[in-house]
Each structure stands twice: as structure tokens, then as C-alpha cells.
Structure 1
Amino acid sequence: MPKKINDNCADCGVCAEVCPEQAIVPGDGKHEIIAEKCKDCGECVEVCPSGAIEDL
């Protein structure tokens, strides 16, 4: 299942750096996941220091 980034996002960008699909982009105060590109690999979940990434 694709992921989404909740309001706990610190906008650090670590998730975008590890995403192999380049599905995570800067947004307005927090990063956003492009659901159509997300392959649910979970790499972003593992590295997020804020625990801000969850199932869509």
C-alpha cells in the first residue's frame, strides 16, 4: 500500500534521499509522496526520524 506523510514531518528530506522511485518531493512545510510512484518498499519509513510516514 502506498504511503503518506503526516503532520509530524520535520521536512528534513531524509526520506526523499532514500526513495528509489523518487516518489517523495518537497511540499508546503513537509514532504509529499506521489502515490502513483510509490512502490511501498518501506525504505522511507525506516529512515524517517519523526515517524511521519504511514500507510495511505
Structure 2
Amino acid sequence: MDITIDQDRCIGAGQCALIAPAVFDQRDEDGLAVLLTDRPGSDQHTAVREAAESCPLSAISVREDPEPAA
């Protein structure tokens, strides 16, 4: 899972930091979202997806890792 935040779209609503505080935080100076890690452990994936879906301006993008070939 790769995560990116479009800083031009982020308005600092803070839903991401509330939903997935191990992955997202907010800058002190303007409240915009920042990543604490862009490759979270699998235990954080559900929260990251929920945080991305909750972002009011869709500033968070999540790219899932491809499934390994069998």
C-alpha cells in the first residue's frame, strides 16, 4: 500500500488523523495532513482506506500493492 496526500487539495479537516493516527498527523502551522509513514503495516490498511474515503476533498490517494503471482 502506497499513500500520497495532495497538499493542494487538503483543507486540514483532520478526519485522517482521527481515523488513522499511526499513519496521519496534522502540521502545527496550518493543520494540513502529513504522513507519518507512506507504507503502513497491514494492521493499518483498513484504517487508511477509511481515512481516504472520509477525506472531504479526496486529497488522500491509496494504491494497493499488487497481489503476488501464484
TM-score over 0.5 for the alignment?
Answer: yes
1:33-52 mapped onto 2 (5 Å cutoff):
33-35=35-37, 38-39=40-41, 40-41=45-46, 42-52=49-59
Contact 1:45 1:51 in 2 (8 A): yes
Larger relative contact order (CA 8 Å, sep ≥ 6): 1
1:5-44 mapped onto 2 (5 Å cutoff):
5-6=5-6, 7-19=8-20, 22-27=22-27, 29=30, 30-35=32-37, 38-39=40-41, 40-41=45-46, 42-44=49-51
Q: Over aligned residue pairs, what C-alpha RMSD do you find?
A: 2.2
**5+ unaligned residues in a row in structure 1: which ranges?**
none
Q: How many residue pairs align between the two structures?
A: 55
Length-normalised TM-score, structure 1 = 0.73
Length-normalised TM-score, structure 2 = 0.61
The runs of at least 4 consecutive aligned structure 1 residues that moved more than 3 Å come to: none
Identity of aligned residues (%): 24
Bigger share in helix = 2
**5+ unaligned residues in a row in structure 2: which ranges?**
64-70
Contact 1:23 1:33 in 2 (8 A): yes
